[in-house]
Structure 1
Amino acid sequence: MKNYPHPIIAREGWLFIVVSFVITGIVTYKWGVWSIPLWIISLFVLQFFRDPGRTVPDDEKAVLSPADGRIVVVEKTRDIYGERDALKISVFMNVFNVHSNWSPVDGKIEKVQYFPGKFVNADLDKASIENERNALVISASNGQMVTCVQVAGLIARRILCYVGKGDELTKGQRFGFIRFGSRVDVYLPLSAVPKVTVGEKVYATETILAELVDEQN
């Protein structure tokens, strides 16, 4: 998959934006000021699907944030997708965050797993195991395993993933999108050193979540 060109507005939202503004324009033409609530909604839809270009730090050990949002979890837990104990870092995305998802590392996708599920608030820990989700198990360029999981939220109703097993990812490559509030969980080797704390605001590809440590040392 080639790197996604950044058109400022995500392609996943083009239809929603066009429909929203066409309806708003018609209502404005016929009823004037009564269209103000629709203009607010249309502007919200436009900002939700914004998709700005991002810079990628030049750091081979860095694990980048796959999404914009706020850190809600930094803990050691079980990675059920990679079948191992791991360091878990979770990014919660509200409806005002950019909702594109980018690869946290360079590597090859070893496994893709999709799970239908519930749509509880993505800010809650149980969302990681109960909500609709899509997991990518990645063999990073240094040989270590990194699992990146897209998790649907209370409002989200569709997870979009454009890569599959065997695909090569480059750090910062756009691989998917989640429509409306959600979260992304990243599972790392226990030896990884976290660089963020709970409550911290992060930006996709620009914020370093953690650093991978050579386990042979």
Structure 2
Amino acid sequence: MNAKLTWKQRILVGFVMAVAFLLVLGSNLLDRRHFSTVQNTIESMYGDRVVVQDYIYQLRIYLHDRELEVSGDDSTVKDNESYGQITTILDDFAATELTREEATFLKRLRRQFSSLRSYDLSTVDREDAKSKMLGHIQSTKTTLDALEEIQIEESGHLTEISEKSLSVNVMLSQLEIAFLIIIGVSILVLAFQPIRTLYPIH
């Protein structure tokens, strides 16, 4: 016995299938969006935080070398070649994605490294010059400390964003699976029990 569906029933079935398709499509688009967010945060974590930590480490080494030279008996600080490398590091640092606070500290850091070259230890009052230069180095280290704190905070923030996106992805995936199961069962019911389910006419 062949079962026929009324136009109203056919429209209802088509509407249900269309809604199911749109919900699955929307879920897929949200999944892609969240995966893109995770990918961007991972790239930012490396390019804007891990690499910057290495920049800060190199700047600390430079300052440590200057401290050793100032504390020694040599009246000159041989930093011409090293300072060229520092300028490159600062430029690379500036090319990363900076927070507003980070940009402010970086500008201060540029001024501090530039001023560091102006100290002359060959003056008559060398001890006073040494004391001032060591104080300036310590001040520059404080700025580096502030920048390092920002890296830690921003890394934590990026990690939090990634974890939230992954959690939402997991939830959406579970809802999508549940919804697909419901659709599958509904289709089976429609396929094997059309008369009882939709009350077709003969």
TM over 0.5: no
Higher helix residue share: 2
Structure with larger RCO (C-alpha < 8 A, sep 6+): 2
TM-score by length of 1: 0.22
Higher strand residue share: 1
TM-score by length of 2: 0.24
Bigger Cα Rg: 2
